[in-house]
Structure 1
Amino acid sequence: MTLLITGATGYIGRRLSALAAASGHEVICATRKPCPAPYAWLPYDLRGPAPECPAGTQAVIHLAADTSPDTDTNANAEINAALALIDCARQGSARFIFISSQTAEAMAPSVYGQTKWRIEQHVLAAGGTVVRPGQVYGGPECGLFGLLTGLVRRSPFTPILLPAPCVQPIHVDDLAAAILAVAERDDIHGEVLKLGAVKPIAFGRFLSAIATHRVRAVRMPIPLPVALLRLLRLIFGRSLSRKLGLERIFSLIHLPPMDSERSMEKLGIALRPLAHGMHRSGHGQRRGLLQEAAVLLGYLLKRPPQKSLVRRYARALERAGKTRPVIHSRLLMGWPILLTLLDNPGVLRTPEGQELAWRLQVALGIAEASPQGAQVFLGTRWPRSLVATLAALGLTSVKALVWKIAALSCRAFARPLLLGSEAHREA
C-alpha cells in the first residue's frame, strides 16, 4: 500500500512510518521539514493548504496536530486543515484515518478535546475512521510521556493526585501496529476505535511504573490534592501553566474512561505489560534475563556477580531461544539467598521448577568457568592455614544446616516465591 502520513516526524508518526516501511508499504511523509530516506516527502503545514493526494495513495493517516506550548491552539485552523485533508483523500479515493484523543468530547474542559471531537464528526460523516488512543508511553521520551518522565526523573517524590484520576496506557509501538492494522483492513470505516488498556490504572501507579522501570529510581509517594493544582494554575496564569505542563496534567484529570475491549479484539492487538513497555527497548525481556542472572549468580557466588557474567548468562539463554525470565519475585531480586528455599527436589521437580533447575545449571557453569567463580569455589584469592580452612568448613556446614532447616520450615512459601510478582501478573 501507499500511505500518506501527516505528522510523520512526531512521536507516534516516526514509529508508524518505520513500522509501515518495514512491513513493505510505501510511506509518504507530509511534514514541514524533509523526512529521512527511504520515505518520500510531501511539504505540508497545518496552517497551509492541503497537499494534493499522490496517485495510488490508498490511505491518508492524519497525525499532525498543533501541540505548541507557546501559543493558543487555533481550533478553526485545525478543523479547516482536517476538512481539506478529507477532501484530498476523497479526490484520490483514499481512506481517511484520523488519530484523535481520549480527551475528545463535545463538552470537554479543554479546547484541545473539543477541537478533536469536532474533527471526529467531520471524519465520521465522510466515512473515515477515528482512532482514540489512551495514554501513549514508551520509546523516546516525547509528548506527555516525555513530560511525565522528566518530572519523575527530576523530583524525589511521586505525586499521588487526590482524587485519583485513571489512565489507560498503550505503548507507542502497539498503537502504531493498531493504526497500521486499520489501514490494511477494508472492513473498518465510519467508526471510532478506542485503544488502550482495558482496565484503567491509577495515574499514581503509572508514575510509579515510570520511576521503577524507566528511571530506575525510588521515589516517595506524596499526596497532591487536585485543588492545589487548580490554585497554582490560577496563580501562574494560563500561558505559564501551559509552559510548565500543568494544562497537560489537567487533561489527564478529566479523562473520560474508554471501553477499549471491543476495539482491541477487533484489531487483534495484545498490549505488552506496562513494566516491559517502560523499558527503552519496548519489551524488557533482556532486562528480565539480566535481573535473573544477577539473582542466580549472586546466589551461587554469595556476592554480587561481575557484569560480564550477567551478560554472558543472558546471551546463553537467548541463544537457547529462552528469552523470558522465570524469576519475577522482587524478594528474590533483593535477597538472592532466598533461592535456598527453591533449591530442593520438592520444588525443582515441578514443571516450573524444572526450568529453574536448568537455568541454575547454566548459571553454575558460567560461574565455575570465571575467575570470580574460581576465587569462590577454589579459594584462590589467598592461601589459608589448616586451622582457618577447618574453621571455614565448619562455618559453611553450620550455615548449610541452618538453611536446610529454614527451607523445610518455609517450603509452603516456595511456590509463591517462584511465581509471584507484580510484573508476572501484568504479563
Structure 2
Amino acid sequence: MKVLVAGASGFIGKRLCPELASAGHTVRAMTRHPESYAGAGDPVFGDVHDARELVGALAGCEAVYYLVHSLGDDDFEQRDADAARSFARAAAEAGVRRIVYLGGLGEDGDDLSAHLRSRRQVEKLLAAGGVPVTTLRAGIIVGRGGISWEMTRQLVERLPVMVTPRWVHTRTQPIAVADVVRYLVGVLREPDTAGRVLEVGGPDVLEYVEMMRRVAAIEGRHLFIRSVPLLSPGLSSKWLRLITDVDVATGRSLVDSMANEVVVRDPAIRELIPFEPMSYDQAVLAALGERAEAARRESA
C-alpha cells in the first residue's frame, strides 16, 4: 500500500516510517524540508496549511497518517483547526481511502484543556472531509524526544527536591513510543479499525508524581516531592521553563492538560491488535537506553 506520513520527521513520524516500510508499504515522507530528510521513505514537500500543494503530495496514496500539531504556538488551536480542514479537503480530492490520526485521551464530559479540546476538534475536522478516519487516543508517550517524557526526565534529573502543584496527583496511563508505533502500523491492516476512535495505553495507571518517583528509582536518584495548592498554571509553566527545556507556551498547554485524567476507558484495540504493551518501567528503560546510545554516537 502507498502511504503518506505527514510529520515524518517528528517524534512519532521518524519511528513510524521505517516500521511501515518494514511492513511492506511504500512510504512517502511529507516534510517542509525534504532536502534535509534522511529517514525512511521518499521525501516529498508538503505544507498542511496549503490544500492545493497537499493534493499533489497525497496523489496516489491509499492511506495517510496525520501527525501534525502546533502546540508551541500561542494560537495553536486555530492553526491546528485550519491545517486539519486543509488536509481533509486535500485527502478527499486526492482519493485517499483512510486517514490515521494520533490524538489525546480524556473524557469528553470533562472540562478538557485547550490542548485536548484542540485534539478533539482536529478529529472532527479530519472526518468532515468524507475520508474515514481512524483515531488513536494516547496519554503520555514515553520515548526519547517526546515533550512530556523529556519534561518528566529533566525534572527528576535536575531537581532532587520539588515543590509541585496539585496536578502531580492526576492519573494518566503512559505508553511506550514503540507500542504506539506498533498500534499505528497495526490499524492499517485491520479493516475493522476504519472510522473508529480507539484508546491506547500501557498496563500501568499512575499519578504523575508516581511516574517521577519511578524514574528516580530507575536512575538511582533520591527524590523528595511535596505538592502545594498555590502554583497556578501560569506559574507552573514558568517554573517548568526554568528547570526544563520546555518553552512557556508548550509548558502552559501541558500543565493545563495535566488537570485532566487521561486513562483508557475502552480497551477494544487490545482485541483488534493483540500484544502485551511494555510496562512503564520498561518504557523508561528503553527511553533512557535510546538517549545513552544517541550520546554515545555523538561522542564517537
> Residue 250 in 1 paired to residue 268 in 2?
no
Cα distance in structure 1, aligned partners of 2:205 and 2:149: 17
Cα distance in structure 1, aligned partners of 2:174 and 2:238: 29
Say what the alpha-carbon RMSD is for the aligned residues: 3.0
Cα distance in structure 2, aligned partners of 1:40 and 1:252: 37
Residue identity in the other structure for 1:175 = V
Deviation at 1:246, TM superposition (A): 4.5
* DSSP 3-state at the match of 2:70: coil
* Corresponding position of 2:122: 119
> Residue 90 in 1 paired to residue 95 in 2?
no
> Residue 60 in 1 paired to residue 64 in 2?
yes
* Corresponding position of 1:99: 102
* Corresponding position of 1:217: 220
Cα distance in structure 2, aligned partners of 1:75 and 1:232: 18
Question: Equivalent residues in 2 for 1:181-196 (5 A)?
Answer: 181-196=186-201
Distance 1:147 1:40, change over 3 A: same
> Residue 262 in 1 paired to residue 268 in 2?
yes
> Residue 15 in 1 paired to residue 21 in 2?
no
1:276 pairs with one of 267, 278, 282: 282
1:197 pairs with one of 199, 202, 209: 202
> Residue 169 in 1 paired to residue 171 in 2?
no
The TM-score with structure 1 as length reference comes to 0.58
More strand by share: 2
Larger Rg: 1
Distance 1:158 1:152, change over 3 A: same
Cα distance in structure 1, aligned partners of 2:279 and 2:81: 36
Which consecutive residues of structure 2, in runs of 5 or more, have no partner in the other structure? 291-300
Superposed CA deviations along residues 240-273 of structure 1, whole A, max 9, x for unmatched, are 9825825413312323433142222322132112
* DSSP 3-state at the match of 1:100: strand
> Residue 44 in 1 paired to residue 50 in 2?
no
* DSSP 3-state at the match of 2:193: coil
Cα distance in structure 2, aligned partners of 1:23 and 1:282: 27
* Corresponding position of 1:6: 6
Which consecutive residues of structure 1, in runs of 5 or more, have no partner in the other structure? 285-427
Superposed CA deviations along residues 68-121 of structure 1, whole A, max 9, x for unmatched, are 2xx313423322221222233223232111111125847644322222111222
Cα distance in structure 1, aligned partners of 2:31 and 2:110: 31
Cα distance in structure 1, aligned partners of 2:273 and 2:64: 19
Residue identity in the other structure for 2:199 = K
Question: Equivalent residues in 2 for 1:23-34 (5 A)?
Answer: 23-34=23-34
Cα distance in structure 1, aligned partners of 2:140 and 2:233: 25
Cα distance in structure 2, aligned partners of 1:136 and 1:182: 18
Higher relative contact order (CA 8 A, sep 6+): 2
Cα distance in structure 2, aligned partners of 1:121 and 1:231: 28
Residue identity over aligned pairs, in percent, reads 21
Residue identity in the other structure for 1:99 = L
Cα distance in structure 2, aligned partners of 1:170 and 1:143: 14
* Corresponding position of 1:229: 231
Residue identity in the other structure for 2:60 = G
Residue identity in the other structure for 1:264 = R
Cα distance in structure 2, aligned partners of 1:118 and 1:57: 24
Distance 1:204 1:24, change over 3 A: same
